[in-house]
Structures are given as structure tokens and as C-alpha cells.
Amino acid sequence: MKSLILAPVVLLALAGCAGASQDPVSEGGRSRAEVQADLAMWKRAGMDKYYRGHNTQAFFSPEYRRRYAQYESLRNGPAYQQELERLRGRQSD
């Protein structure tokens, strides 16, 4: 009888431990300038035109893939760094 009462108590205790062990939300995300620079690269590649409405078929088109590759190239290249420096300079003024 004692084990029947003890089992739910043990389960509740373990459930509390499992919830407490989750990774905390990181406070160190991207800066405003980083997000704005990323968005500028997204728009420069023409990706923003694919997110107007509900035309999801466009996501599988060769044009979409070409533009996404262009976005990745811009995002990982010097254009992103230049835009980021420009935005950071504007924020410090």
C-alpha cells in the first residue's frame, strides 16, 4: 500500500527535475544591426517577393533556388559585412 502512495510522489518529483533541466533561453541573440543587414541581403537577392501571399509552389522553382543561393552568397560575403558596418556607424551617430 505504501508503494502505491509513494509511486505518484516519485513520478511528480522526477517530472519536476526533468522540467528544470531544460536549457535556458539564450539572451545573446543577434543585434538590431545584424538583423537589419541580414534583411537587406534578403531583399537585395529578391527573396522578399516570395513571401507575399500564399504561393508556396514558388519555393520549389529554379528561380527561387537561384535567388536563395544569391542570398546565401551575399549573407556570407563582404556585402553583409559592409552593410553591417554601415548600420553600426549609423547607430553610433
In a 13 Å sphere around the CA of 77, the CA atoms on its Cβ side amount to 10
Calpha distance 93→84 (Å, rounded):
15
Report if residue 82 sits inside a domain.
yes
pLDDT for the residue numbered 63: 93
Report if residue 2 sits inside a domain.
no
Those residues whose C-beta lies under 8 Å from the C-beta of residue 60, and which sit 6 or more positions away, are none
pLDDT for the residue numbered 10: 55
Question: Residue 74 sits in which domain range?
Answer: 32-91
pLDDT above 80 for 77: yes
Whether the pTM exceeds 0.75: the reply is no
- Number of domains comprising the chain: 1
